Structure 1
Amino acid sequence: MADRFEFTHQEKAASLLLYSTLKEKIGPSLLPDDEKKIRGHLADSVKQNLIKRDVFGLNPVLFGFQTAMIVVDEIGLKRDAVLAILLHPSVSNGYVSIDEVREQFGDSVARILHGLERIADLYAKNPVIESENFRNLLLSFAEDMRVILIMIADRVNLMRQIRDTENTEAKMRVSEEAAYLYAPLAHKLGLYKLKSELEDLSLKYLEHDAYYMIKDKLNATKQARDAYISRFIEPIQKRLMDAGLRFHMKGRTKSIHSIWQKMKKQKCAFEGIYDLFAIRIILDSPQDKEKMQCWQAYSIVTDMYQPNPKRLRDWLSVPKSNGYESLHITVLGPEQKWVEVQIRTERMDEIAERGVAAHWRYKGIKGESGLDEWLTNIRNILETSDDLQVMDQFKMDLYEDEVFVFTPKGDLFKFPKGATVLDFAYHIHSKIGSSCTGAKINNKIVTLREELHSGDQVEILTSSTQKPKQAWLNIVKTSRAKAKVRLALKETQVKEGQYAKEVIERKFKNRKIEFDESTMARLIKKMGFKEVSDFYRQIADGELDTNEVIDKYVELQSKEKSGAGDQPARSAEEFNFNAANEMSVPNDDVLVIDRNLKGIDYQLARCCQPIYGDDVFGFVTVNGGIKIHRTDCPNAAELRKRFGYRIVKARWSGKGSSKYSITLRVIGNDDIGIVNNLTSIISKDERLTLRSISIDSNDGLFRGNLVVMLEDTSRLESLIKRLRTVKGVKQVERI
């Protein structure tokens, strides 16, 4: 049985004190039965042991009260936000449903809790939080503005409570999230006080030595710094009072985190940071006289101390996009030290310290779809409302034109609305896109046409046989994906063309026909193709029969030869040495076919040139004749696969006086005399006849074909062995 949840005496006392304080602060916004129902709910959840301490051992009820105090005091939220915070642990643990909350406490509280649960689901996908996209997704995913504000307050409270925890690993993770996610969110929303606290506490936990080094040095210089501030502001105070202005002044020391960032950026020690503080003049001014009195104070300060005109920041005339208004000037104070002076009114200071206006375009961050209008609405609420009750009805309307989706590893990508699975695949990598067959979205298999929605977790499915198609250009929405599809289509056409060309050249070789590029080019043009690539694409797609193409090639070649007249002179490399009569010798060797049948007419296949002694088989042709092939013929496998019923057995039985033509390929170093040595070996054997020789030389190597007439395989093997002994010969093989 699980340990029973119990309050310690300190937790009980702190909870009762916070409860009474909260009741006093938000009492006017509570409905008549709210207090009774929430007290009963909390009492039941504790009594029935339905809530548990978190990984840090913190009491969730007390923690909820502490977080609620932050959203009330620091942000200004009221009833709905406080009730949602107190009910959230019970909703997360399944003790109460969102529908039950809606019935008891209303739609607004239920909506906040629904947003908190949706974001909890996002976290379950293990997102990469160090991402601007994840911060933007939270802003667009939360539905209700108060969800984000509660999350920030919750993290501030957690960072305050885990100082002495023993769970170091969880403490580091929470601190990293505070630095990468929650502090920037607070910055965007104008919560500068909470932002600074998150940054300082995360630095304290993550870089303990750096934090305490700066803190100790600040403490050591505090007395001298305070004395300098007093000397600086004393004459200013007198002049401001003489001018009849109502104001108060204070020196503001930079946060430890900002000092540390400046030390790293400038690569200097603590002593090298000179602007450790700023002087703030806060005027108590009527709203219609704010600008005039701020500029009056500016004039007084710059009359007394020399200003640096390059460091003037006028956010009075044109406020920042988040509503921030102030006048900043850097002046040369006593002891020739530069001092920053900030001039603003009480109203401006309140908005700057506790404002909810998003800090979006500051420091280079540009506004995006819907944000300008949203910022204006927020600023109007801040300037016209005494409290933030208007926020209770305010729903965010951001990123209506954008969606944010996850990879299985938690990386987050942004796409325009309407983007598809195929856009996502090409965004990951071109190869992933080109082989995409669909995807798993939230573990459900969908097609590559499926549209993406914010929060989807997308796993791309691929296949090695998939190829990009022309129709894909109508599926993808992003210009990046369209460009990649066009490129992939072009690359595919080139690859298919190369493959088709290799296929047709191989078939030429199998039929012992010399492949000539120029003749093929003339044939392609004669067949009506404007582009060579279109011809080879049709070969690859099977629209053209390669055998028909080869027949047309042979026909065209024979026509050109017959009408060519005198042949042009050929180079020595193409020289064919005909040493014997070209007429075929009658074949008187005995070949037994099928079931011991002799005397049947047959032809030796030109593709493999079988000779006496080779392992052979017969193939019955369409016209009834029989062609004899070697068992290792390049076409043997295809013939057996497609026409196995037309294969007949064959074997050599008796030896006559026949000679056979075979072709040997010889490769070797292009040395002087090597060709003469090869031909000399053949000419010395009276039983061998050299019919032709062709040699091609390139980059110090030669490749040649020798056509030789010989009697059988034993004579062939002997010849190959002798040719391999010639110096410089690297390879001799029968083709």
Structure 2
Amino acid sequence: MLRQYELVERVKEYDPDADEVMLNRAYVYTVQKHGTQTRASGDPYFSHPVEVAGLMTDLKLDQETIVTALLHDTVEDTLATIDDIDRNFGPDVARLVDGVTKLSKIEQMPENERAAENLRKFLLAMSEDIRVLLVKLGDRLHNMRTLHFIKKEEKRQRIARETMEIYAPLAERVGMYEYMREMQLLAFEQLEPEGYATIMQRLEQIREQDGGQVDRIALDMKHALAEAGIVTEVSGREKHPYSIWRKMAERHVSFEQVTDIMAFRIICEDVADCYRALGILHTTWQCLPGRFKDYISTPKTNGYRSLHTSLIYGKSMRVEVQIRTREMHRLNEFGLAAHWAYKQGDRPDGQVAWLRDLIEIVDASHDAEELLEHTRMAIYQDRIFAFTPKGALFQLPRGSTAVDFAFAVHTDLGLQTVGARINGRHMPLRTQLANGDVVEILKGENAEPQMSWLGFVVTGKARASIRRAVRLKERAEVAEIGRKLFDEIATRVPAKVGKKAMRGALERLAMEEEDDLYYAIGSAKITDRDVMEALVPGSTDGMEDEAEWSRGTKSLSIRGLTPGVGYKLAECCHPVPGDRIVGLRLPGEGVEVHTIDCHRLADGIGSDWLDLSWGKRSMGAVGRLRITLYDRMGTLAEMAGIFAKNNVNVQSLQQTQLDHPFTTYDADLEVQDLAHLNRILSAVRASDAVAQAERV
């Protein structure tokens, strides 16, 4: 553990003007506040914030960040308050400490909600001051280094999983690869102990058996470059154990089949030498097609710059090579922290955009599960590059579609998207983008996001925005139903309902706006009697039976429709009760009800959607089966017998194809629900008379 004077000396080495008195006061404050508290390792608790402060000095961060690191656990784990921090160390430090501190009020929440609320607060604080993130990453890294002291395996696994899913990707997104690699390695050891032990053992065997092969390859590269007059530093190492494990999992291969486990780094004097060195390597050794990446001309979002290539050394050995300048190397290893210049307000443009996207996700996410899902999507890497027609560059996760691109450009553009041109051609919105695609988004003023988009978008920002828009639309439609029901309820109170009565009702029901009341009525979250009492207190006195003032309307077969609106079940997908359904509003024709996976919806037909669910309908829905029978005597009668045994009414039976020795029929069957239809389908498939059967 760093002693007090050692910590101060470290800061003074790179910041001679640092306030030594404040640093000393913060060190003493954290020691006094944590007192006799101990960690799972048995060490004094204050050793943790001191070590985190030491990590911040390695990054050469300013004194406020060092003080924040020293104090970051005092509010959470001692009697100190944010006001105490403010009085003793100023408002800036208090704000930073508050950003890193967990919310004490949420400790009794379920684990996922607690994690989401902590993450929500952390992301909001981080967007205001990136130093919150730097301290949090240092805090998590030191906790991972001491994780093995925690006795409960369940707790170790939870912390390791959170580190792997949230904090290691966060470190990667801000370019702090040293932090990312160490976090991944420590989490990997806890989450996959057998895999970790096996890979570490095999790497050790390779070191013992290769007889200095890594050094020989590095020396060969250095000599080849020196002969061309390029001054370089060349170093080699085995690839990161977790990187090897992930490659084995992704490719479904064994350790022996992973051929590129050696990686080499070449440090050049300037950018021109980087490209010259690449040319020398490619002419000296065979390069692997498709493995070259130029992150110098097109840096990653986190500012990472380097040339990447893979070579075949000798007869069959594959090696990865990274080529960069010394300055690039410094920035690449510690990312945002390395070129941090907070006092000048200097943050990389890509980081600002990424942080802005994260905050939009926080605002749009409905609950804990959504927030965690969308954030994980936003912070994981493996990117492709796409351009607007004017040449603006956007980085997106691999697998992104035109809709993801639209939301990346701007949320409003995503919400108004109706089509896309990719490289000048009209393409479906679900088309996955490739590196270098030029994407033009077509928009409509009255367009709205479609529920079906959630089936193919991959970015957290797109999913969060679509879900929020769908919820708002659904709320508006439910509120419209509630408004009509309210008018009927209002006729039953013994007084005229005016603005004064409405204001009083909202106050009694603890609601802010009339739409809140209409939504509560439409979604059956409030009873008619409660509404009447809120409008005119005492108006329901003497009503002995709830049925006397119930609405008296029959349950709709389809929920989510405005009362009185006509509908029909779509013949393209034949929905039955039990299917997840949506409505497609057709001008002048009412609503057409489809299954959620209907091909017409997937093709984007129509733009006015309703999220529907089944009511109490028990009979009358028609499901269609396509059945292929062996073309022999008695097979049709056997199929009819199966229908009879399963109490189903056959509305129509049509021969659609004759291809000897098979005959195919479309059978329209009146069924009770999806379970009923599936039972019939299973019985048909079990028959020897049937070659194939499927639902249409």
What TM-score, normalized by structure 1, do the two folds share?
A: 0.49
Tell me which residue corresponds to 1:660: none
The Cα of 1:275 is off from its aligned counterpart by 0.8
Matches within 5 A, 1:69-88: 69-73=54-58, 75-88=59-72
Tell me which residue corresponds to 1:272: 257
Q: Secondary structure at the match of 2:150?
A: coil
Q: Secondary structure at the match of 1:28?
A: coil
The answer to whether the Cα contact below 8 Å between 1:129 and 1:181 also exists between their aligned partners in 2 is no
Q: Secondary structure at the match of 1:310?
A: coil
Work out the CA distance in 2 between the residues paired with 1:392 and 1:108.
18
Q: Secondary structure at the match of 1:77?
A: coil
Tell me which residue corresponds to 1:63: 48
Work out the CA distance in 2 between the residues paired with 1:448 and 1:410.
30
Work out the CA distance in 1 between the residues paired with 2:205 and 2:90.
54
Residue type of the alignment partner of 1:37? R
Does structure 1 residue 463 correspond to structure 2 residue 524?
yes
Does structure 1 residue 228 correspond to structure 2 residue 213?
yes
The answer to whether the Cα contact below 8 Å between 1:119 and 1:141 also exists between their aligned partners in 2 is no
Count of residues in Structure 1 that have an aligned counterpart in Structure 2: 425
The Cα of 1:56 is off from its aligned counterpart by 6.5
Q: Secondary structure at the match of 2:123?
A: helix
Q: Deviations over 1:406-435 (max 9, x none)?
A: 666654387979999x98696499699848
Higher RCO (Cα < 8 Å, 6 or more apart): 1
Q: Secondary structure at the match of 1:111?
A: helix
The answer to whether the Cα contact below 8 Å between 1:316 and 1:326 also exists between their aligned partners in 2 is yes
The structure-2 alpha-carbon separation of the partners of 1:173 and 1:339, relative to structure 1 and needing over 3 Å to count, comes to same
Consecutive unaligned residues in structure 2, runs of 5 or more: 375-406, 416-447, 449-463, 484-508, 529-557, 569-587, 591-668, 670-696
Work out the CA distance in 2 between the residues paired with 1:211 and 1:16.
37
Residue type of the alignment partner of 2:264? I
Tell me which residue corresponds to 1:208: 193
Does structure 1 residue 33 correspond to structure 2 residue 18?
no
The structure-2 alpha-carbon separation of the partners of 1:220 and 1:180, relative to structure 1 and needing over 3 Å to count, comes to same
Residue type of the alignment partner of 1:215? M
Q: Deviations over 1:529-560 (max 9, x none)?
A: xx999xxxxxxxxxxxxxxxxxxxxxxxxxxx
Matches within 5 A, 1:153-552: 153-225=138-210, 227-283=212-268, 285=269, 290-356=270-336, 382=339, 390=344, 398-399=356-357, 403-404=362-363, 411-412=370-371, 427=471, 434=478, 462-463=523-524, 490=561, 492-494=563-565
Tell me which residue corresponds to 2:98: 114
Identity %: 23
The answer to whether the Cα contact below 8 Å between 1:425 and 1:460 also exists between their aligned partners in 2 is no
The answer to whether the Cα contact below 8 Å between 1:315 and 1:324 also exists between their aligned partners in 2 is yes
The structure-2 alpha-carbon separation of the partners of 1:310 and 1:88, relative to structure 1 and needing over 3 Å to count, comes to closer
Tell me which residue corresponds to 2:86: 102
The answer to whether the Cα contact below 8 Å between 1:306 and 1:332 also exists between their aligned partners in 2 is yes
Q: Secondary structure at the match of 1:110?
A: helix
The structure-2 alpha-carbon separation of the partners of 1:253 and 1:65, relative to structure 1 and needing over 3 Å to count, comes to same
The structure-2 alpha-carbon separation of the partners of 1:233 and 1:496, relative to structure 1 and needing over 3 Å to count, comes to closer
The answer to whether the Cα contact below 8 Å between 1:111 and 1:144 also exists between their aligned partners in 2 is no
The answer to whether the Cα contact below 8 Å between 1:92 and 1:117 also exists between their aligned partners in 2 is yes
Work out the CA distance in 1 between the residues paired with 2:522 and 2:42.
43
Work out the CA distance in 2 between the residues paired with 1:60 and 1:460.
54
Work out the CA distance in 2 between the residues paired with 1:253 and 1:295.
24
Work out the CA distance in 1 between the residues paired with 2:214 and 2:522.
65
Does structure 1 residue 92 correspond to structure 2 residue 107?
no
Work out the CA distance in 2 between the residues paired with 1:393 and 1:34.
26
Work out the CA distance in 1 between the residues paired with 2:294 and 2:468.
44
The answer to whether the Cα contact below 8 Å between 2:312 and 2:318 also exists between their aligned partners in 1 is yes
The structure-2 alpha-carbon separation of the partners of 1:223 and 1:133, relative to structure 1 and needing over 3 Å to count, comes to farther
Residue type of the alignment partner of 1:206? L
The Cα of 1:198 is off from its aligned counterpart by 0.8
Q: Deviations over 1:667-701 (max 9, x none)?
A: xxxxxxxxxxxxxxxxxxxxxxxxxxxxxxxx9xx
The answer to whether the Cα contact below 8 Å between 1:203 and 1:211 also exists between their aligned partners in 2 is yes
The answer to whether the Cα contact below 8 Å between 2:288 and 2:310 also exists between their aligned partners in 1 is yes
The answer to whether the Cα contact below 8 Å between 2:311 and 2:319 also exists between their aligned partners in 1 is yes
The Cα of 1:194 is off from its aligned counterpart by 0.8
The answer to whether the Cα contact below 8 Å between 1:129 and 1:177 also exists between their aligned partners in 2 is no
Residue type of the alignment partner of 1:350? R
The Cα of 1:313 is off from its aligned counterpart by 1.4
The answer to whether the Cα contact below 8 Å between 2:4 and 2:24 also exists between their aligned partners in 1 is no
The Cα of 1:227 is off from its aligned counterpart by 3.0
Q: Deviations over 1:424-481 (max 9, x none)?
A: 696499699848989xxxx98665857xxxxxxxx999526789xxxxxxxxxxxxxx
Q: Secondary structure at the match of 1:163?
A: helix
The Cα of 1:30 is off from its aligned counterpart by 2.5
Work out the CA distance in 2 between the residues paired with 1:462 and 1:233.
69
Q: Secondary structure at the match of 1:329?
A: strand
Tell me which residue corresponds to 1:521: none
The RMSD of aligned alpha carbons is 4.8
Q: Secondary structure at the match of 1:340?
A: strand
